[in-house]
Amino acid sequence: MSLLEMTLDAPRLLEMQPLLRVNNLCKNYGGIRALENVSLHVYPGEVLGIVGESGSGKSTVLRLLNLEEPETSGTYQLEIPELLGQNLFELNRFQKRETRVHHIGIVYQNPHLGLRMHKSSSGNVAERLILAGEKRFAELRRAARESLQASEFPIARMDEPPIHLSGGMQQRVQLAKAIAMKPKLLLLDEPTTGLDVSVQALVLDTLKRLQFELEMTMILVSHDLGVIRTLADRVMVMRGGRVVESGLTDQVLEDPQHAYTQQLVHAKL
């Protein structure tokens, strides 16, 4: 950690514990090293952006944080009462599912990964509550409506299946599903990539408002520095499975230190 970073982060570090701690995360696919000693700490209510080109490992980080895939090595902790001191990678299949349902929300770039395209949109959201054990139909309706409304989804269409909806609306359904259980951690994998610029701006507005209202910690993966600049407090730059630079967003994007970050920023400009 650079000297500059420490001084800037110091007040917060003194006050709070990080919500999320990942240390020395490594991931191999066959003989290929996809992640090499990635460590990150994210604080409550903070938005961490991860940037990098395709193949840099940024989406792999999210999949591992969502407990979808086994790690090769490393530890992962969330500062949540019932999970204190627990390395989440060591949970069994059942506990991992419980943790995902209650504490982690995710929005994928490809809505097919996150949604049941032929079930109703409200049902997609309600499924999170079903998984958490909710057995009252009226409560499922209420909660689905509330989440969809919070995501600024047009409620009149809440029972239409996502397959009939536009890309922007599909992302709003994913978002509603992700926040249905009011998780502490929200993972966003290129949530606005592929949307029209105007729609993209609206979805980003919604995200920003929700993050503020629900005090969620967010990790946002994007190759779009504009998106990162809009949402992220801090940014982490990845290349070839390694973290090459990290720091406050303004600082990294205004004054990149690493040659690769400089390239990224200038390419953008």
Partner 1 sequence: MKLSELAFERQDYAYAFLDEFAKRELRRKILKAIAIPGYQVPYASREVPMARGWGTGGLQVSLALVGVNDTVKVIDQGDDDSVNAANLRRFIARMTGVKTTTDTLAASLIQSRHRIPEELLNERQVLVLQVPMPEILSSIEPSYARAREMHSDGDYALLWLGLYEDLVKYREVSYGADYPVLVNGRYVMAPSPIPRFDTPKLHQAAHLTLLSAGREKRLYAVPPYTDVYPLEFEDVPFQIEDQRGWRDASTGAAGKFMSEIPQDGGGSSYQLSDTGLKQKLERQMAGEEIEIGATYFDDDTNFYITGFLKGAS
Partner 2 sequence: MAYVAARGGEEAIQNSEGLYRILNGDLTRQNIRAIERHMPYLVDRVMGEGSLYAPELAALALAQTGGDLYEAVLLLRAYRSTQPRLFYALPISSETTMVVRRISAAFKDIPGGQILGPTLDYSHRVLRLEALETDSIQAPKLETKNAAPSSYPKLTDWQREVGLLAGELEPAVQTSREVAALPDITREPPIYPAPRAQRLQALARADTGGILTLGYSNMRGYGGIHPTVNEVRLAYAEVQLEHPITGAVFSAGRVRVSSAEVVTPFSSGKTPPELSLGFAACLGWNETKLIAAAMLDVAMSLQDPHPAHQEEFVLSHTEPVEASGFCIHYKLPHYVTFSSDLDRVRKAQAGGSLELELEAVGV
155 binds, among partner 1, partner 2, none (CB under 5 to 8 A by kind): partner 2
Positive or negative torsion for Cα 163, 164, 168, 169: negative
Taking CB under 8 A as the criterion, the residue among 21, 102, 141, 258 binding partner 2 is 141
Instruction: Identify which of residues 68 and 250 has a Cβ nearer to partner 1 in the complex.
Output: 68
Give dist(CA 107, CA 62) in Å, integer. Answer: 10
- Please count the residues of this chain forming the interface with partner 2, following the rule CB under 8 A: 7
* Stretch binding partner 1 (CB under 8 A), from 54-62, 129-137, 208-216, 217-225: 129-137
Smallest distance from the beta carbon of 155 to partner 2, in angstroms?
A: 5
97 binds, among partner 1, partner 2, none (CB under 5 to 8 A by kind): partner 1
Residue 134 in tokens: 């909710």
Taking CB under 8 A as the criterion, the residue among 32, 156, 267, 269 binding partner 2 is 156
Question: What are the backbone angles phi and psi of residue 193, rounded to the nearest 5°?
Answer: -65, 135
Residue 214 in tokens: 């629900």
Give dist(CA 223, CA 147) in Å, integer. Answer: 27
Positive or negative torsion for Cα 60, 257, 227, 43: positive
Smallest distance from the beta carbon of 120 to partner 2, in angstroms?
A: 12
Could you tell me which residues are beta bridge partners of residue 20?
Answer: 42, 78
For binding to partner 2 (CB under 8 A), which residues are involved? 137, 141, 145, 155-156, 158-159
